[in-house]
Structure 1
Amino acid sequence: MKALFIGGTGTISMGIVRRLSEDPLWEVYLLNRGNRNAEVPANVKQITGDINNEEDIRAKLDGMEFDVVSDFIAFDVKAVERDYRLFNGRTKQYIFISSASAYNKPAAHHVITEGTTLANPYWEYSRNKIACEEYLLGKYREEGFPVTIVRPSHTYDERNIPLGVHGNKGFYQVIRRMQQGKQVIIQGDGSSLWALTFNRDFAVGFTGLMGNRHAIGEAFQITGDEILSWDQIYRTIADALGVELKPYHVSSDFLSEVGAKYGYDFRGSLLGDKSVSVIFDNSKLKRLVPQMTTTIPYHKGVRIALEYVLAHPEKYEEDPEFDAFCDKVIEALEAAKKSV
């Protein structure tokens, strides 16, 4: 069977590509600009190009058909409209990567299923994903376009450390603050619940849907089974670093307001996602992919990631602006406490 992944070298997709590269049943193609070829398994075929150059891609795909096409870099309706034009009649299944952040915030019930209403007034990213889903499912209902919707939550790999609050350059500065004995900001009181999934586990659920006729026209959330509070998540990182966690809890509303003044979209990432407790019911996925389970719990996954990150500091940027932002927020709130 032939699979084409648009992108294919990101956090979610790399785990899938590596898993399929070891499966003799699959022939894997990546369509991207070729910037990260060194990380791609040798038996994976590369189609180099810009997916936004539609005519060039159409020419490069001339005569090719696939069992599965999945776009990991489609973030708005314009992108999925392009994919429909390129792949309608060329693939037996098109898998769209949506997001669990598309679910209603706050949800009517803390247990999330695929039937939970989609609505996110806080985050444009999530609203765009909802619009993509609606377009593709409309094409399925009207024309039989073979779409499958996948909704990941917080997926990570060896290159990433999951956090609730970080700067525009990513997680690295928070790790540095922990190492330096500084306080780190955690949204809310740290007790809200969250699901984390290592990309190797995610790949099991995803590949189990590939080529599966029962997945056509359906949506599936793919997350691990482990549920942790945000305090537990940060303490697990500190334990793996061998340092003491010094948490500083700040309300998500305050972070959203003050963060906007410094160029941080905490309204979307927190109010629209990470500040809300979620527990995912993955029974729909497990009916089709019964082997889907958590094999890399967070206390192991974060050590895998930290081993890589600490061994490759040249790949990560320190973020003095975010470091200063954290200090300003903590100083301002401490001063406010003393004035009461």
Structure 2
Amino acid sequence: MVSPLAPEAATVAPRSILLVGGTGVISAAATERAAALGHRVTVLNRGQSAARPVPDGVEVLHADIRNRASVREALGTRGFDAVADFISYTPDQAAAAVDLFAGRTGQYVFISSASAYQKPPTRLPILESTPLKNPFWQYSRDKIACEEVLFAAYRERDFPVTVVRPSHTYDRTKIAMVGGWTDVHRMRAGLPVMVHGDGTSLWTLTHSKDFAKAFVGLLGRPQAVGESYTITSDEYLPWNQIYRLFARAAGVAEPELVHVASETIAAASPELGPNLLGDRSHSVVFDNTKIKALVPDYTATIPFADGAREIVAWFDANPASQVLNQDYMDLTDRLTTWARSGQRPAGG
């Protein structure tokens, strides 16, 4: 059940907000929240997502953010109190954003990633002051490089950047387990499910609607310029419990969880390796004190037990989204058979 808007929300002065993206997991929730609070919201993207349509009353501009000329044509001479960029991933894209939005906004919000924080972390909880270093995952290193470009522009050109680092943020369309729907299928079929490591590392999952409460609260805030913020839930769970919550939501009393070292999975699947070794295999607990100081009413109120039920219910209602990944089926069969036999996996 999603919490209603905070009672004081109606007193917030409306701001003009441009969201670059607007139909992804976190950007769609931010669009909905900002519009519900009465802000003047504009979304810039190439087209709408059927799974996450833009709310009524939100202005939609169509342009390809990778084509600066098309963006300038779409925006004309318009300016905004805040621009939030959800789809810049590389330093050249960050540099292009500086070129596009300098002088056009009082605040440019870059969505980075909590995976950029030091891996493995040397201390918990993770703070905004935790070093940014991830030798395992190129995605994270690119986000770090983006931040370096943007903070250099802040120092040298007074570019009004704010950096937000979300961790694993989900909505009803996103299954947190590595195998996605394939893992749900295996649970229901009574097949063993592969869990990386020993299943005891801690993980933080944040519902997109909770994330949006804090995120929209910092838009248009001049005191946030030049700063970085972590936005996550304060709930953290071991992976074993996350898998069991999905099983319970899927109507499975006790799934067979088979533990396989993350390094073994990475060796057998180069596609899965960087994310596992660079993020999921490490315990992550975050301190949200800084964002709560800026947005005092922020509290994440959706426990993942509710989130898991919402996700499975959505997939059950949308059979076309129940995609079975045969490669992952084969990988799971091979590695769980090896793990239970104690023998070296063929080809691993």
Report the TM-score when normalising by structure 1. 0.94
Aligned-residue offset at 1:7: 0.9
Please give the root-mean-square deviation of Cα atoms over the aligned residues, in Å.
1.5
Unaligned runs of 5+ in 2: 1-14
Listed one character per residue, the Cα deviations across residues 85-135 of structure 1 (whole Å, up to 9, x for unaligned) are: 110000110000000000111111121000000000000000000000011
Aligned-residue offset at 1:279: 1.0
Equivalent residue pairs, number: 329
Q: Does 1:297 align with 2:297?
A: no
For residue 284 of structure 2, what is the aligned residue in structure 1?
Answer: 278
SS at match of 1:39: coil
User: Identity, % of aligned pairs?
Assistant: 43
Aligned-residue offset at 1:337: 4.6
- Structure 1 distance, partners of 2:37, 2:122, is 41
For residue 265 of structure 1, what is the aligned residue in structure 2?
Answer: 272
- Structure 2 distance, partners of 1:235, 1:335, is 23
Q: Which letter maps to 2:303? A: P
For residue 150 of structure 1, what is the aligned residue in structure 2?
Answer: 164
Listed one character per residue, the Cα deviations across residues 276-305 of structure 1 (whole Å, up to 9, x for unaligned) are: 011101111111111111210001111112
SS at match of 1:96: strand
SS at match of 1:111: coil
Check the 8 A contact 2:91/2:142 in 1, yes or no: yes
Report the TM-score when normalising by structure 2. 0.92
Q: Does 1:72 align with 2:86?
A: yes
For residue 12 of structure 2, what is the aligned residue in structure 1?
Answer: none
For residue 261 of structure 2, what is the aligned residue in structure 1?
Answer: 251
For residue 42 of structure 1, what is the aligned residue in structure 2?
Answer: 56
Listed one character per residue, the Cα deviations across residues 159-183 of structure 1 (whole Å, up to 9, x for unaligned) are: 11212x22xxxx1111111111111
- Structure 2 distance, partners of 1:28, 1:7, is 12
- Structure 2 distance, partners of 1:114, 1:338, is 41
- Structure 2 distance, partners of 1:2, 1:107, is 38
Residue correspondence of structure 1 range 1-340 to structure 2 within 5 A: 1-24=15-38, 26-36=39-49, 39-163=53-177, 165-166=178-179, 171-243=180-252, 244-260=254-270, 264-266=271-273, 268-337=274-343
Aligned-residue offset at 1:338: 10
Unaligned runs of 5+ in 1: none
- Structure 2 distance, partners of 1:338, 1:253, is 13
SS at match of 1:55: helix
Q: Which moved more, 1:49-58 or 1:183-192?
A: 49-58
- Structure 1 distance, partners of 2:200, 2:70, is 50
- Structure 2 distance, partners of 1:113, 1:54, is 35
Aligned-residue offset at 1:331: 2.0
Check the 8 A contact 2:204/2:285 in 1, yes or no: yes
- Structure 2 distance, partners of 1:234, 1:315, is 20
